[in-house]
Amino acid sequence: MSKIQLEKFQTPNRRLMGAGPSNIYPEVSEALSRHEIGHLDPLFVKMMDEVKSMLRYMFQTKNEFAIAVSAPGSAGMEACFVNLVEPGDKVIVCVNGLFGGRMVENVERVGGTAVVIQDEWGTPVSIDKLEVALEENSDTKIVAFVHAETSTGVRSDAETIAKIAKEHDCLVIADTVTSLAGIPVMTDEWGLDGVYSGSQKCLSSVAGLSPLTFSDKAIEKITNRKSKIQSWFLDQTLVLDYWTGEGKRSYHHTAPINSVYALHESLRLVSNEGLENSWKRHKDAHIRLKKGLEDLNFKFVVEEEYRLPQMNSIYVPDNIDELAVRMELLNDFNLEIGAGLGKLSGKIWRIGLMGYNAREDSVDYCLDALKSVLNK
Amino acid sequence: MSKIQLEKFQTPNRRLMGAGPSNIYPEVSEALSRHEIGHLDPLFVKMMDEVKSMLRYMFQTKNEFAIAVSAPGSAGMEACFVNLVEPGDKVIVCVNGLFGGRMVENVERVGGTAVVIQDEWGTPVSIDKLEVALEENSDTKIVAFVHAETSTGVRSDAETIAKIAKEHDCLVIADTVTSLAGIPVMTDEWGLDGVYSGSQKCLSSVAGLSPLTFSDKAIEKITNRKSKIQSWFLDQTLVLDYWTGEGKRSYHHTAPINSVYALHESLRLVSNEGLENSWKRHKDAHIRLKKGLEDLNFKFVVEEEYRLPQMNSIYVPDNIDELAVRMELLNDFNLEIGAGLGKLSGKIWRIGLMGYNAREDSVDYCLDALKSVLNK
């Protein structure tokens, strides 16, 4: 087989204002290129401990178990279901967008029984429907929902969902991929048991890691399982020995060293800023964007009360070629905005104000670019 | 919960000459910090195509399916078993070290039946035992083995193992985590069907990705499965649409953008060097190290014929405190060498000459440091 000779790959300086990944912080970019150390180096173990502490702060939890899964958010999702659901377990899944649908897939693939509550894409999870489903399915073990649906930009009422689930003695799995650091995620106060997120959204770190925390009740369920966890890679009883083993850390898999450097740095930046300030920054940027989009006569997909500041979904007017506009923004303005997914494909745009891009400068750049392209 | 304020994490400039990760190439470090682009950006799709082409060269295959799993080598291993093994399938697993044992775990967790062939740690897979096992288990569907056992430094005869497996109509799964780019891996010539590797060994890229290729026969088995693949994240029928979908690439998960940059660059460097040159470089470095270690009276764990040039396992003399020596090398010389794993824990050292470190300079540095510490 003959050799392949390729040039170095060059990438332009894009503003990533779609559904994620967001642009990383400049400091995260620097951190990425730190000297590599081994994944069992005492210094790396120290770094992991710091990551754990900062993740506890991000998730607002005292949970002992707070780690980063060595793979993207969808692996974090799978880690929750594969560890917490035993074959035959009944799981109520609240579906109001693409990622809720993926949760159903996960329940079924681990041999659980999914009871699906459907809500319209763009609306929050219906509390009434959840209450009815819990009454009708008293043997439910787990309630799962997406806190911030990236596919539509809607926020569901995590606190109330968890409260009701707890009243029925259920564990609660929450997807906070897009919410963490952008809006409050109060793991302990709300009583969430399995919570996962992504590194590349409001944390503005590199894509590829999934922060994950389990409550003590979740850990109890995992350690008392009757059946073996079907995934070796995502078996958190094994990972636990690497991330939290007292004294000696036992080898599980080779951690993605440089990505952990990046996560450490982004967690550090958000910690130093303070969560309240981070939430406010996302909200302020959203208000500025909202004003500009309304001036341009765009309509939001989600009602004001449930809108995520970090994920703004707007309808594309009928007379506009949505793909052509996105490509023009990308090619002429180095600006990425997100397309619709699934049933909203071709119908909406998703403008992300996540992490580093939750600031005036990015909002104004985006609005100016949109105006230029649309006024042509 | 109160804020956590931490300093930037600093890392020393270590030589990573253990069992991996190896040091990354300086160019890979640069590539890591390239401007981020989105995982659905047309430019990123172009990059993925280049990665696929270069992976085909690395694996010496014409397989259409050649991708990088967005997670470490152990997820690449799981991707092979979870896709290729159906519940009830009989799989012969050749175990001669830690990673063979992990394969057995994988077979069992996907509901397959593992027939285990045991060989002593440090010796290659026994061809005779494999032949007997295949005769006795004529309903075997798959033979799985580790080409280069990272836990011991032994090379097994992949060509003959695959030949015999083929004679019994079996698919062949090969772990080439430590072999790829260090010694020949001839996927098509040998007839391997599911082959996975790691980014952080002889490719000297960042840890966290697992190159993977499936033969057409493997793809045929996957697409004709009667049962659903139990992992959503590792379901390669879904990933296929993202990596190879004609025209439109459909979203599966957010690819670890920066890690793919790094992999692209390391594949490019090895492609430009040429595989034959890379193999020779590893061999030359090994010969130099071997001479030096023998001068110091070290004994190799593996017989000469089966030694991996990139992974040199030596016995620790009884009178030496192995942990103390490793810590001294680490702290005083910034040199990491590997400890023994599993049943060889405390008994051996593993000196890696992988990728960037397969060169005279690193060999001499390691030998000099060892001499200094041992002569004290």
pLDDT of residue A246: 59
Q: Between chains, do A72 and B253 touch, taking CB under 8 Å as contact?
A: yes
A142 and A84 in a single domain? The answer is yes
CA distance A16 to chain B (A): 7
B263 and B291 in a single domain? The answer is no
**Chain A contact for B340 (CB, 8 A cutoff):** no
Asked if the peptide bond before residue A256 counts as cis, ω within 30 degrees of 0, the response is no
- Search chain A and give the residue with CA nearest B30: A33
DSSP H helices in B181-215: 187-190
What does the block give as tokens for A223?
Answer: 């350690």
CATH code at position B316: 3.90.1150.10
Beta carbon pairs, A and B, within 8 Å: 266
Q: Structure pTM?
A: 0.97
pLDDT of residue B2: 77
The sheet carrying B348-352 orders its strands as: B15-17, B335-339, B348-352, B311-315
- pLDDT per position as a tens digit, A170-216: 999 999 999 999 999 999 999 999 999 999 999 999 999 999 999 99
CA distance A202 to chain B (A): 14
Residue A4 lies in a domain: no
Residue B10 lies in a domain: no
Residue A43 with chain B: CB contacts under 8 Å: 11-12
pLDDT of residue A126: 98
**Chain A contact for B78 (CB, 8 A cutoff):** yes
pLDDT of residue A77: 98
Question: Is A22 within 8 Å of A201 (Cβ atoms)?
Answer: yes
Residue B8 lies in a domain: no
The parts of chain A modelled with pLDDT lower than 50 are none
pLDDT of residue B247: 56
Torsion sign (Cα): B121, B213, B88, B74? positive
**Chain B contact for A376 (CB, 8 A cutoff):** no
A319 and A267 in a single domain? The answer is no
- Search chain A and give the residue with CA nearest B27: A8
Domain end marker among B271, B302, B331: B271
Question: Is B303 within 8 Å of B155 (Cβ atoms)?
Answer: no
A265 and A341 in a single domain? The answer is no
A175 and A283 in a single domain? The answer is no
**Residue A211 backbone dihedrals phi, psi, to 5 degrees:** -60, 140
Q: Is B239 exposed, middle or buried (0-12, 13-18, 19+ CB in 10 A)?
A: buried
Residue A8 lies in a domain: no
A231 and A368 in a single domain? The answer is no
Residue B257 with chain A: CB contacts under 8 Å: 21, 200, 206-208
Residue B4 lies in a domain: no
- pLDDT per position as a tens digit, B259-283: 999 999 999 999 999 999 999 999 9
B266 and B284 in a single domain? The answer is no
- pLDDT per position as a tens digit, B72-95: 999 999 999 999 999 999 999 999
As a whole number of angstroms, the distance between CA A266 and CA B256 comes to: 16
**Chain B contact for A259 (CB, 8 A cutoff):** yes
A265 and A300 in a single domain? The answer is no
CA distance B301 to chain A (A): 21
CATH code at position A62: 3.40.640.10
A115 and A86 in a single domain? The answer is yes
Query: CA dihedral defined by A346, B70, A201, A26, rounded to 10 degrees?
Result: -120
Residue B167 lies in a domain: yes
**Chain A contact for B14 (CB, 8 A cutoff):** yes
Residue B7 lies in a domain: no
The parts of chain B modelled with pLDDT lower than 50 are none
Domain end marker among A271, A295, A321: A271
Closest CA to B203 of B355, B7, B17: B355
Secondary element (H or E) of residue A176: none
Secondary element (H or E) of residue A311: strand A311-315
pLDDT of residue A266: 98
DSSP label of B248: S
Question: Is A4 within 8 Å of B270 (Cβ atoms)?
Answer: no
Domain end marker among B221, B242, B271: B271
Look up the domain containing B155 and give its range: 26-271
- Search chain B and give the residue with CA nearest A187: B1
A110 and A214 in a single domain? The answer is yes
Prediction ipTM score: 0.96
What does the block give as tokens for A125?
Answer: 């999870």
Residue B6 lies in a domain: no
Phi-psi region of B151 (alpha: psi -120 to 50; beta: other; left: phi over 0): alpha
Residue B109 with chain A: CB contacts under 8 Å: 228-232
Q: Between chains, do A72 and B43 touch, taking CB under 8 Å as contact?
A: no
pLDDT of residue B242: 78
A133 and A208 in a single domain? The answer is yes
As a whole number of angstroms, the distance between CA A213 and CA A165 comes to: 18
The length of chain A is: 376
- Search chain A and give the residue with CA nearest B15: A37
B172 and B303 in a single domain? The answer is no
Count of domains for chain B:
2
